[in-house]
Structure 1
Amino acid sequence: MLILHRDGRSRPAHAQLRRRPGFTLIELLVVIAIIAVLIALLLPAVQAAREAARRIHCVNNLKQLGLALHNYHSTIGSFPIAQSWAKTTPGANYGGNPWSAHSQVLSHLEQSTVYNAINFSFAPAQALNQAYYTNSTILYLRLNSFICPSDGISPTTLDDIRMDFNCNYSGSTGTTVEAIGAVQQTVSIQDSTGIFGFDNPIKHGSRVYSVASVTDGTSNTIAYSEHLVGGVGPRVTDTRRASWGRVPEVAGVVSLDPTALYPQVVQALAACGAYARANAATTDTSVGSSFSGATWMAGYLGTTLFNTITPPNSPQYAFNSCQADPLFTWGLSGFVNSTSNHSGGSNFTFADGSVRFIKSSIDLRTYWALGTRAGGEVISSDAY
């Protein structure tokens, strides 16, 4: 059958049936496979880009802390004290918790409103009765300046206090491993070898330090670092967030200068690492609980303070803090580590305000030297 067209030409009828464009099943599967491969290739790159952005944010927070530290120094004439104890009655023991160095620099972090809301005559969260705590206006307040976005933070309830775990940065006490502070005025503690001093009028007075006290050089002395927050009640499954007690080897060095006891400290660190690995899967919820970063207000080792004993973020020593006493989950004494979710180490603010990344592989004694303000150590520029 022929069909006559307008141009006068005739064509067979079957010539009018054109094949519709489309994909065969095999072609469709090939396209899907290619898209899946591209996603698999791009996803790590996207995740890496996001982590890089979070890391930049974290570094910026540490830079702001460094600037606040120097603005405070310019105003007061010294660095803030690590543990500032509130005392309402002359001659009485201190009560509650000590104020942190973080709380003292708030007005230099553009947080004057928060600073003015604090009543420093009372301790942070000091219990007046079971229903009320002092400074409750700011007790649960989160400040972005103290939070690293690489760490997921979830509030935890402990008894009738909600611990927000709202602080990812700690001030350095150098190589000091016993900083119980003045819970009672008769408590004997070490002085801080870092730039943040302690408050104990009976032992040695309220120690504060200035730039002039940093004879090792501000560019060679650590001021702040990162830490992953801990948790209480529910099991802390990430050992880097946990506080490990019951390690007797720590007791031998807890009140002595670790730089003079290198073999003993190495032995104690190994015991802490082994204990953390052995107890990582325990069902005992009392083991590993940690107040790391519980609040930016309290000036405790393991909460807003750390020491430069354990290599930062080390997989060999995967713990937040390690003590001889299992009851000291606050990290009051022992080895309190710098930890982060940044691969291979942690970010540090130095006393000159600069921020540098220190690898987990740093030599122990080099790291100890970077923690002290006046140890007299000579540190090579390529040592870390």
Structure 2
Amino acid sequence: MKPRRRRQGFTLIELLVVISIIGVLVGLLLPAIQSAREAARRAQCQNNMRNIALALNNYQIRKGAYPASGLFFEDPSSITSTTGAGAGSQGDVTKSVLYRIADKPTSADAGRAGRSWVVEILQDLDQADLANNWTNEYTYTAVSSPGGTTATATPNSILANTALAILRCPDDNNFTPNQGNLSYAPNGGFARVGAYPIGWKGFQKDDPTGSSGGSTGSMLKWDSTGDRALAQNYMQKLGVFFIQSVYNNQLDGTNVPGVWNGRSPSWGGMKTATAAITDGSGSTIMLGENTLVGYDGVGSMWSGSQPTNWAAPWPTFSMFIASDNVCGTAGDCSTTLSDGTVATDSTAWTNANIVGGYENIGYGQSLTLKGTSPFINSGHPNGSNYAFCDGSVRFINNTIDGTVYAKIITPAGSKLPVPYKQQPVSQDAFIN
């Protein structure tokens, strides 16, 4: 009798063991794969920022200063006279469009919204076609071209909604496909409008009515005596990019060159050149991330109820700021802070990034409405990418000490008056 042949194959127990081993291996590999993918997305984001920083520095070399974060058109009718009773009104910031948009822009200001910093560097971003077709005398939402529709001119509204890959971080999921998205914002210091610095109350949650946040009081009371030129002088030491205005408005058929500067003082001419970055370009932030800027087809109260994109000049869409809580709830940096300490280099600036607050780095990830948080946030775990004025790009943790963060925001903190003067920053505190 022939011996029975054993059946070839695996037993059920053997199969279960193999499947279990495969499952364990896959479980071990998935985090590594996800981490590698995140690293690749972060590297792409950093590459985008590096190229944008290069474009901004090229612009600075050509023009002698960085561009305005947002540019608005002034109303010539606000200047009644250069002599007699109306003399000097061009130096009155309350007559400027900057005064109105510093709080909550309205639809009446929509016709004054020119363009953002992105438009100024289109040529440097290898977007010659967009740059050559853009009409500077028109708003970013203009639906017609000069003299009406022509075969060679494209309305700004169409150009501004063109999707540009370099302007969007791969980890920014708060975007609309095939539209003018934006993930990056330049350093505006501690106020949205330097010429008229008022505070910002952070949003706890999405709230289009603004009942849970918005503008509040004066950001600085250095101008308590009415010397707003002095306040502007300090604001220029606290940021790199500023909201500006020009007399060059197509609405009334005029083409009057010049900035809102009139007589002394100058409200709209705030610009930063390399020489003004006395704290060092390698220790001064140029660009950061914000998933709440860029395209919004509906429009919000923070954009004059106008749709937005990378060309929108509105303050909460064209820049980021650090928390202005360094000045306390009263807006007076010279008073005692809420914790009972006196404002000094080691305490006042700490409030620039208080973990757990609504204005700290990263809290914007809790919000979805565009324009509702002018503070840094990103889709990267635990931190954000920053481009510095020397062209370097670094990843910085969201929990960075507020004093260190304040120092790398300000280009000339060492030139501030006592007791707000900042001491030199240790680069080991923010360079990983």
Q: Please indicate the TM-score interval, normalised by the length of the shorter structure.
A: 0.5 to 0.7
Q: Which residue does the alignment assign to 2:290?
A: 227
Q: Which residue does the alignment assign to 1:195?
A: 240
Number of residue pairs matched?
A: 297
Distance 1:91 1:209, change over 3 A: farther
Coordinate RMSD, CA, aligned = 3.8
Partner secondary structure for residue 122 of structure 1: coil
Q: Which residue does the alignment assign to 1:125?
A: 141
Partner secondary structure for residue 66 of structure 1: helix
Which is worse superposed, 296-305 or 90-99? 90-99
For 2:292, the aligned partner's letter is V
Aligned-pair CA distance for 1:167: 0.4
Match of 1:213 among 271, 276, 301: 276
For each residue in 1:64-100, what CA deviation from the matched residue of structure 2 results, as whole angstroms up to 9, or x when unmatched?
A: 111111111122221111122246x754667242411
TM-score (normalised: structure 1): 0.67
Match of 1:140 among 161, 167, 174: 161
Distance 1:179 1:134, change over 3 A: farther
Partner secondary structure for residue 271 of structure 2: coil
Aligned-pair CA distance for 1:319: 3.4
Q: Which residue does the alignment assign to 2:311?
A: 297
Report if aligned partners of 1:312, 1:337 keep a CA contact under 8 Å in 2.
Answer: no
Residues 1-384 of structure 1: matches in 2 within 5 Å?
Answer: 12=1, 14-15=2-3, 17-86=4-73, 90-91=76-77, 95-126=111-142, 134-155=155-176, 164=179, 166-178=181-193, 191-192=235-236, 193-200=238-245, 201=260, 204-229=267-292, 294-309=308-323, 316-317=357-358, 319-320=363-364, 330-331=371-372, 336-376=374-414, 377=422, 378-384=424-430
Distance 1:85 1:178, change over 3 A: closer
Aligned-pair CA distance for 1:27: 1.5
Report if aligned partners of 2:68, 2:243 keep a CA contact under 8 Å in 1.
Answer: yes
Distance 1:111 1:165, change over 3 A: closer
For 1:147, the aligned partner's letter is R
Report if aligned partners of 2:364, 2:375 keep a CA contact under 8 Å in 1.
Answer: yes
Distance 1:315 1:43, change over 3 A: farther
For 2:169, the aligned partner's letter is C
Q: Which runs of 5+ in 1 are unaligned?
A: 1-11, 157-162, 183-187, 235-285, 323-327
Q: Which runs of 5+ in 2 are unaligned?
A: 79-96, 98-108, 198-227, 246-259, 324-350, 415-421
Distance 1:81 1:233, change over 3 A: closer
Partner secondary structure for residue 170 of structure 1: strand
Q: Distance in 2 between matches of 1:84 and 1:165?
A: 18
Q: Distance in 2 between matches of 1:25 and 1:61?
A: 53
Q: Distance in 2 between matches of 1:134 and 1:103?
A: 14
Distance 1:301 1:321, change over 3 A: farther
Aligned-pair CA distance for 1:46: 0.6
For each residue in 1:94-116, what CA deviation from the matched residue of structure 2 results, as whole angstroms up to 9, or x when unmatched?
A: 72424111211111111112211
Distance 1:55 1:311, change over 3 A: farther
Q: Distance in 2 between matches of 1:233 and 1:61?
A: 24
Aligned-pair CA distance for 1:20: 3.0
Aligned-pair CA distance for 1:363: 1.8
Q: Distance in 2 between matches of 1:207 and 1:145?
A: 27
Percent of pairs identical after alignment?
33
Distance 1:356 1:82, change over 3 A: same
For each residue in 1:25-73, what CA deviation from the matched residue of structure 2 results, as whole angstroms up to 9, or x when unmatched?
A: 2211222222111111111111110000000001111111111111111
Q: Distance in 2 between matches of 1:176 and 1:76?
A: 24
Distance 1:100 1:61, change over 3 A: same
Aligned-pair CA distance for 1:134: 4.5
For each residue in 1:93-142, what CA deviation from the matched residue of structure 2 results, as whole angstroms up to 9, or x when unmatched?
A: 672424111211111111112211211111111467xxx99413313211
Q: Which runs of 4+ in 1 moved over 6 A?
A: 230-234, 286-289, 310-313
Distance 1:363 1:98, change over 3 A: farther
Which is worse superposed, 45-54 or 313-322? 313-322
Distance 1:205 1:232, change over 3 A: closer
Q: Which has the larger radius of gyration?
A: 1
Report if aligned partners of 1:97, 1:126 keep a CA contact under 8 Å in 2.
Answer: no
